[in-house]
């Protein structure tokens, strides 16, 4: 098969964060990790082009997947491989979205990233192959990707044995002992000291290392964010009260604070009466303005970001966080206050 490989600006050799806003481009040859992947694929499958894009541009621009797909289609490729993105959130989201767009367009598509990357949810229904945590595991990861490419190219379906992540079909099977006997055995095992023994492993949502403190808040640009469902009266963006499928942004301009009736919370997980009486209880704009006037903080970002945390999936929440961080960093924001309900 003719394969096109999607990577970000870093692995394309364009640059680091200073080049994260570059738009999509194409090169008519394997680039970066694509060179190793090409050697692993051998003569049977050929990487005819590399398409790359900056992480910020790809993750925060709704039109980016379509733009990238046009470049992919122009190469005449039959298959897309995106990544590996490892645990890089913006890169993973871009890889997932590009893979999903290619699959929808009729190409064989494959994304590669760590199982906990928020981009996994973006790739469906294109398959995702699990990678290690960091690019230090690039060699072993590319070997796994090459095997997956060959299997997909032959018309086969990937399985967990191939490193497939995501939903795994359930199949009935006959256990060696009944539930009562297994429950007793499991209890004895745990009492003997193996506290992790279980038939149903719980999901691991990972951990996010906190950022370091702001060196000088009096000179910092601060943003206000909330998952409290606070929107302008009338909910013009139609933000959901639960299981949010999006996040929205609204201007703060030079408002000294939020007045009763100007903004309301549509959050369905708590009584919003007290919050709607004083919307600053959800988004502390009044206190933030006071801190700015006192010189405690430098300035406030002109917009606030909002979603609803009530019942929203972990994958969607992780994606919103990545998108918020990418946008705020692009605008020069140094810190954010995120209120939770």
Q: Is residue 229 part of a domain?
A: yes
Does the structure show a pLDDT above 60 at 168?
A: no
Q: Is residue 192 part of a domain?
A: no
Do residues 79 and 108 make contact, with C-beta atoms less than 8 angstroms apart?
yes
Q: Is residue 118 part of a domain?
A: yes
Same domain (yes/no): 10, 116: yes
User: How many separate domains does the chain show?
Assistant: 2
Same domain (yes/no): 29, 111: yes
pTM listed for this prediction: 0.63
Q: Is residue 276 part of a domain?
A: yes
Same domain (yes/no): 293, 227: yes
CA distance 100 to 111: 9
Task: Identify the domain boundary among 165, 192, 225.
Answer: 165
Q: How far is CA 335 from CA 58, 249, 288, 329, in A?
A: 23, 17, 13, 9
Same domain (yes/no): 56, 159: yes
* Tokens 């009266």 found at: 233
Query: CATH no. for residue 142?
Result: 3.40.50
The pLDDT > 70 percentage for the chain reads 98
Task: Identify the domain boundary among 165, 192, 227.
Answer: 165
The pLDDT > 90 percentage for the chain reads 77
Domain range holding 89?
2-165
Q: Torsion-angle region of residue 295: left (phi > 0), alpha (psi -120 to 50) or beta?
A: left
Same domain (yes/no): 26, 141: yes
Q: How far is CA 72 from CA 2, 49, 77, 106, 273, in A?
A: 11, 8, 7, 12, 51
Does the structure show a pLDDT above 60 at 172?
A: yes
Q: Is residue 206 part of a domain?
A: no
Same domain (yes/no): 6, 154: yes
CA distance 312 to 241: 10
117-121, 176-180, 204-208: least confidently modelled range: 204-208
Identify the band that residue 170 occupies on the pLDDT scale cut at 50, 70 and 90: low
Nearest to 160 by CA among 139, 200, 130, 132: 130
Q: Is residue 175 part of a domain?
A: no
* Chain segment 268-308, per-residue pLDDT in tens: 888 899 999 999 999 999 999 999 999 999 999 999 999 99
* Chain segment 42-72, per-residue pLDDT in tens: 999 999 999 999 998 998 888 999 999 999 9
Task: Identify the domain boundary among 148, 165, 182.
Answer: 165
* Chain segment 79-97, per-residue pLDDT in tens: 999 999 998 989 999 999 9
Tokens read off for 192: 């003997």
Question: Given this model, what pLDDT does residue 110 score?
Answer: 97
Q: Is residue 212 part of a domain?
A: no
Question: 246-275 in b/e burial notation, b at 16+ Cβ within 10 A?
Answer: ebbebebeeeebbeeeebbbbbeeeebeeb
Same domain (yes/no): 128, 66: yes
Q: Is residue 44 part of a domain?
A: yes
* Chain segment 183-231, per-residue pLDDT in tens: 999 999 999 999 889 988 776 767 778 888 999 999 999 999 999 999 9
- Residue 167's CB is within 10 A of a number of other CB atoms, namely 7
Same domain (yes/no): 47, 141: yes
Same domain (yes/no): 155, 270: no
Same domain (yes/no): 230, 290: yes
* Tokens 């194409």 found at: 26
Same domain (yes/no): 146, 234: no
Same domain (yes/no): 140, 222: no
Question: Given this model, what pLDDT does residue 220 score?
Answer: 96
């Amino acid at each position: 098969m003719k394969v096109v490989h999607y990577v970000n600006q870093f692995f394309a050799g364009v640059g680091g964060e200073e080049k994260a806003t570059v738009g999509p481009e194409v090169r008519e040859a394997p680039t970066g990790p694509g060179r190793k992947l090409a050697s692993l694929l051998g003569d049977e499958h050929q990487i005819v082009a590399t398409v790359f894009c900056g992480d910020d541009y790809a993750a925060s621009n709704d039109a980016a997947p379509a733009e990238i797909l046009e470049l992919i289609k122009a190469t005449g490729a039959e298959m897309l491989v995106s990544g590996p993105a490892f645990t890089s959130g913006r890169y993973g989201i871009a890889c997932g979205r590009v893979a999903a767009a290619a699959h929808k367009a009729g190409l064989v598509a494959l994304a590669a990233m760590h199982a906990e990357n928020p981009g996994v949810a973006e790739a469906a229904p294109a398959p995702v192959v699990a990678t290690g945590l960091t690019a230090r595991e690039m060699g072993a990861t590319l070997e796994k990707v090459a095997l997956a490419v060959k299997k997909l190219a032959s018309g086969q379906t990937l399985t967990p044995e191939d490193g497939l992540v995501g939903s795994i079909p359930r199949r009935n099977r006959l256990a060696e002992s009944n539930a009562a006997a297994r429950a007793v055995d499991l209890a004895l095992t745990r009492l003997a000291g193996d506290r992790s023994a279980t038939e149903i492993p719980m999901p691991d949502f990972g951990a996010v290392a906190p950022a370091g403190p702001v060196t000088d808040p009096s000179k910092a640009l601060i943003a206000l964010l909330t998952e409290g469902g606070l929107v302008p009266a009338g909910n013009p963006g139609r933000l959901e009260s639960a299981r949010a499928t999006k996040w929205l942004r609204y201007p703060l301009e030079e408002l000294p604070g939020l007045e009763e009736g100007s903004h309301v919370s549509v959050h369905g997980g708590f009584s919003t009466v007290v919050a709607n009486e004083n919307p600053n209880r959800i988004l502390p704009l009044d206190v933030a303005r006071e801190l700015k006037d006192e010189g405690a903080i430098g300035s406030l970002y002109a917009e606030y970001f909002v979603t609803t945390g009530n019942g929203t999936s972990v994958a969607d929440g992780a994606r919103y966080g990545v998108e918020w961080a990418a946008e705020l960093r692009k605008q020069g924001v140094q810190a954010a206050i995120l209120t939770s309900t």
